[in-house]
Amino acid sequence: MQQACIKAQAEVQRIEKKYSRYLDSSLLQTINKNAGIKSTTIDAETAGLLNYADLCYQQSDGNFDITSGILRRVWNFKSNSLPDEKTIQQLLPLINWYSVQWDQNTIFLPEKNMEIDFGGFGKEYAADRAAEIFQSLGIQHGLVDLGGDIRIIGDKTDKSGWDIGIRNPSQPESAISHITLHQGAMATSGNYERFMQVKHQHYCHILKANTGWPVNHWASVTILAPQCLVAGSLATLTMLAEQKGEKWIREQEIPFLAIDLKGLQLSNF
Amino acid sequence: MKKITALSALSAAAMAIPAQAEVAPTDKIFSYRYTSYQESDAPRERTFTPELGRYQIEVQQFGYQTPLDESWYLASELQFETMSGASPTQTYKDANGKSALTMSGASIEEQRIDIKVAPKKYFAHGTAGGLVALSKENDYESIALGLDGTLEIFDKHTTLIGSLSVSNDKLSPTDARISASRTEADGRKKRSFSVYEGINQIIDKYSSFQAGISYTQLTGYLSDPYKFEDRRPGSRDQVTFSVQHKQFSNVLDGAALHSSYRYYYDDWGIESHTLDVKWAQSFNLGKTRLIATPLVRYYTQTKANFYSLEQNPADDLLNSSDYRLSSYGAITIGFNSELKFKQWALHLDWQQYTSREIMALFGRDSDETPALVNFSTFTAGIDYKF
């Protein structure tokens, strides 16, 4: 078991180091430093993740865009003050996944100062990879929980399922609902993770790439899916779709629990 | 918003992300070790010469490991050793049939410097590495080159391991003119060629097993020029079989039992058995993790064909009274500890080695070996990961 834990932990750290936006040595930072200058060679894993990000971009009509991380420069959720609309407008031209030139072996960000990050799904991907390592080493019961993003390795020994609490967006330390999971994954996207209140208005960290402003319809969306990566992205895409999100997620025919800003719960399970 | 397709499209894309296999380490590690090695004095009642104080060695080791890029990793090490003390020159049976030990008179003071560089390339299903090691003392120079590789098969549950190394050493004994054996050894070479093949198998989530075989061939000047009447063959073929088992358990905050057995024989007539058992116990103390590892090792060997306590053997006969070629047994007990906190790891290790003729399990010999050594080592070290 320790052997498996060490390997799984090493895998999570590997992903973090490879795709961290804080480490100068990460592949992601190399890609970003080469923006506007030259293309960067990538491996198959990175190409796979870019392909995944590309699909999220298409599915969200451009609101999920891995080049949107640059908005962090103007959105400081600790400052309790809103960014200037003009500054946001100046950044928007740099948010343009469509303009990025990439294939299976290389990526090139066409403008200097453009950047990509995998913050939108990196943690979920790591949870999947860690769980798969446990499974490959013969672990049959257990789950991986990376800060609320959960991937089941296998059911409990007595097959009674894992009892998982879903955070209450207005009181994130307590559960608003519980669910029993036997397999698959659960991920939540919520407006309570990083936010600020300005003039009684709630501004959360999930920003729409098209406008540069936070989403403002759902307090949280929880999705169950076979993979944590998919669950997390569907939750984020629903958040981004705002009022159109309910219709969209119902069409996916996948278990969800969405809570709007008034506290109204919508669910199909 | 596109419809319906999102879940299936994303699931398919998620499935298509290829998993990375063998993982190249991404940490840079700086490490420092200080080791003090102290041999016990030779026994007064069995030593003919006045000098009793044996070797004392102090070792300072600086290590630096760093990723070179996505798939290359480099480990390097620089080591300084200071040795002082006397060493046994001969053991012989005196006229009364009692063994007597003679020690080198003057205390020898020597320095040694070692440099090792080992790059490693990580592939999807294995690794390939190289090694260059240089070692220099005032009377000895050595260069070693190595290649090693691993290959993961059967869904990574089985790893094939192989390595190959060669070394070329040059002797230049101090005060080469004071004895015939030193004069003869001056400028002579010693070469080695070594190959290892092994297989590591993950048995289940709690245990793994490794087995290996190695062959080493030494050629050149293999005698010890500082000893009297030391004439060894010009080649030595060594074969080793080893097995290792690791068993993890949930005792306290996690533990692992490592046990290994090694069988060795060579064409000098030496056969040896080594049994190693250690228990690595983890304790989680808040943000700190302590790994305490008590260990015990038993070693026994038979003597070389030409080991003898003859004081004046014929010059054309192979002969040696080196205690390392005698029949004996030895026990090592030790305690290693590692304290991990954030990016730091502190190491404190202690070992005590005791060897005796009567501790030999096989081929116990009536000849006494007063030069058999007892020693203790103490190591303090620190690692920093960043």
Stretch B293-310: mean pLDDT: 95
* Residue B352: pLDDT over 70: yes
- Same-domain status, A58 and A163: no
Cross-chain Cβ contact B26/A55 below 8 Å: no
Residues A175 and A86 in one domain: no
Q: Is residue A132 part of a domain?
A: no
Q: Residue A61's domain is classified under what CATH number?
A: 1.10.3980.10
Q: Is the pLDDT of residue A2 over 80?
A: no
For residues B117-122, give the mean pLDDT: 93
B317, B321, B326, B328 alpha-carbon torsion, rounded to 10°:
170
What is the average per-residue pLDDT within B343-367? 90
- Classify residue A170: in a domain, yes or no: yes
Residue B70 has pLDDT above 90, yes or no: no
Is the per-residue pLDDT at B166 higher than 90? yes
**Residue-wise pLDDT tens digits, B2-11:** 445 688 888 8
Q: Would an 8 Å CB–CB cutoff place B70 in contact with chain A? A: yes
Lowest-confidence region among B49-53, B229-233, B274-278 = B49-53
Last residue of some domain: A108, A126, A158?
A: A108
CB contact under 8 A, B16 and A13: no
Largest CA distance in chain A: 58
Domains and CATH numbers, chain B: 21-385 (2.40.160.50)
* Mean pLDDT of all residues belonging to chain B: 89
Domain limit, last residue, from A81, A108, A135: A108
Min Cα separation A125/chain B (Å): 9
Per-residue 3-state assignment (H helix, E strand, C coil) for chain B: CCCCHHHHHHHHHHHCCCCCCCCCCCCCEEEEEEEEEEECCCCHHHECCCCCCCCEEEEEEEEEEEECCCCEEEEEEEEEEEEEECCEEEEEECCCCCEEEEECCCCEEEEEEEEEEEEEEEECCEEEEEEEEEEEECCEEEEEEEEEEEEEECCCCEEEEEEEEEEEEEECCCCHHHCHHHHHHCCCEEEEEEEEEEEEEEEECCEEEEEEEEEEEEEECCCCCCCCCCECCCEEEEEEEEEEEEEEECCCCCEEEEEEEEEEEECCCCEEEEEEEEEEEEEEECCEEEEEEEEEEEEEECCCCCECCCCCCCCCCCEECCHHHCCEEEEEEEEEEEEEECCEEEEEEEEEEEEEHHHCCCCCCCCCCCCCCCEEEEEEEEEEEC
Contact predicate A126/A232, CB 8 Å:
no
Chain B nearest-CA distance from A148, in A, is 20
> Are A163 and A96 members of one domain?
no
Confidence of residue B174 (pLDDT cuts 50, 70, 90): confident
CATH number at residue A259: 3.10.520.10
Is residue A69 domain-resident? yes
So what's the ipTM on this one? 0.86
pLDDT at site B305: 94
Q: CB neighbours of B50 closer than 8 A, spacing ≥ 6?
A: none
Say if the Cβ atoms of A225 and B11 lie within 8 Å: yes
In degrees, to the nearest 5, what angle opens at C-alpha A241 toward C-alphas A20 and A91? 50
Chain A 17-46, residues with CB within 8 Å of chain B CB atoms: 17-18, 25, 27, 43-45
Contact B4 A229 (CB under 8 A): no
- Residue B22, pLDDT score: 55
Contact B74, B105 (CB under 8 A): no
Domain extent at residue A206: 146-267
Pick from A1, A13, A59: which is nearest to B6 by CB? A59
Q: Is the pLDDT of residue B152 over 70?
A: yes
Which value, to the nearest 10 degrees, does the dihedral of the CA atoms of residues B356, B358, B361, B365 take? Answer: 100
What is the interface size between A and B, counted as CB pairs within 8 Å? 102
Q: Compute the average pLDDT of residues A112-137.
A: 91
Say if A125 falls within a structural domain.
Answer: no
Q: Please check whether residue A224 is in contact with residue A254, taking contact to mean a CB–CB distance below 8 angstroms.
A: yes
Residue with tokens 């169950």: A224
In this structure, of A36-50, A245-259, B149-163, the range with the lowest mean pLDDT score is: B149-163
Report how far residue B73's alpha carbon sits from residue B119's, in angstroms, rounded to the nearest whole number.
6
Chain A nearest-CA distance from B131, in A, is 25
Tokens of B92: 């012989």
- Report the C-alpha gap between B42 and B104 in whole angstroms: 12
What mean pLDDT is predicted for residues B151-162? 84
Domain count, chain A: 2
List C-alpha distances in Å: B2 to A201, A216, B261.
30, 21, 63
pLDDT at res. A201: 83
pLDDT score of B353 = 96
Residues of B in contact with A149 (CB under 8 A): none
**Domain-embedded: residue A247:** yes
User: Hey, which residues does B85 pair with through a beta bridge?
Assistant: B108
Query: Which among A124, A119, A123, A117 is positioned nearest to A30, based on CA atoms?
Result: A117
Give the amino acid at B304: A
Token look-up 């010469």 returns: B49
User: Are A238 and A188 part of one and the same domain?
Assistant: yes
**Between chains, do A136 and B155 touch, taking CB under 8 Å as contact?**
yes
Whether residues A150 and A237 share a domain: the answer is yes
- Residue A117 within a domain: no
Q: Does B9 touch chain A (CB under 8 A)?
A: yes
Q: For the whole model, what pTM was predicted?
A: 0.64
Q: What is the pLDDT of residues B308-327, one digit of tens each?
A: 998 889 888 999 999 999 99
Q: Residues A219, A153: one domain?
A: yes
User: How many Å is the maximal CA-CA distance in chain B?
Assistant: 103
A122 is a domain residue: no
Strands B189-204 and B158-171, bridge-based pairing = antiparallel
- Asked whether residue A261 falls in the same domain as residue A159, the answer is yes
* A152: β partners: A143
Domain identity same for A75 and A188: no
Of B58, B64, B116, the residue nearest B383 (C-alpha): B64
Which chain B positions have a beta carbon within 8 Å of A14's beta carbon? Answer: 20, 23, 26
Contacts of A50 in chain B (CB under 8 A): none
Least confident of B152-166, B252-266, B306-320: B152-166
Residue B155: per-residue pLDDT: 67
3-state secondary structure of A45: helix
Q: In the structure, what pLDDT confidence band is assigned to residue B24 with cuts at 50, 70 and 90?
A: low
Query: Which pLDDT tens digit goes with each residue over B80-99?
Result: 999 998 889 999 888 888 88
Could you tell me if A154 and A195 are in contact, meaning their C-beta atoms sit under 8 angstroms apart? no
How does pLDDT run across A53-99, given as a tens digit for each residue? 999 999 999 999 999 999 988 888 888 888 888 999 999 999 999 99
Position A128 in a domain: no
Pair (A101, A184) in one structural domain: no
The answer to whether A243 faces chain B, any CB pair under 8 Å, is no
Three-state secondary-structure class, residue A149: strand
Indicate whether A152 and A262 sit together in one domain.
yes
Let me know whether A151 and A254 are in one domain.
yes
Q: Single out the residue of B201, B218, B275 nearest to residue B242, CA to CA.
A: B275
Using CA atoms, how far apart are residues A46 and A50, in angstroms rounded to an integer? 6
Residue carrying the six token digits 């906190």: B341
* Whole-number average pLDDT of chain A: 90
| Cα separation, A38 vs B229, whole angstroms | 70
Give the SS3 label for residue A207.
strand
- Please tell me which residue, A84 or B259, carries the higher pLDDT value: B259
What is the per-residue pLDDT for B2?
46
Asked if residue A43 has pLDDT above 90, the reply is no
- Give the tokens for residue B120: 């490693």
Using the predicted structure, report yes or no on whether residue B126 has a pLDDT greater than 90.
Answer: no
B176's tokens: 């080469």
Q: Average pLDDT, stretch A213-241?
A: 94
DSSP 8-state assignment for residue A81: S
One domain for residues A72 and A180: no
The answer to whether residue A126 scores a pLDDT higher than 90 is yes
For chain A, say whether B358 makes contact (Cβ under 8 Å): no
Residue that the structure tokens 């960290």 belong to: A205
Across the range B191-217, mean pLDDT stands at 91
CB burial string A160-171: b at 16+ within 10 A, e below: eebebebbbbee
Higher per-residue confidence, B269 vs A139: B269
Closest CA to B207 of B259, B253, B277: B259
List C-alpha distances in Å: A33 to A37, A68, A108, A112: 8, 16, 10, 8
Q: Are the Cβ atoms of A137 and B205 closer than 8 angstroms?
A: yes
- Across the interface, whether the CB atoms of B18 and A44 are under 8 A apart is answered yes
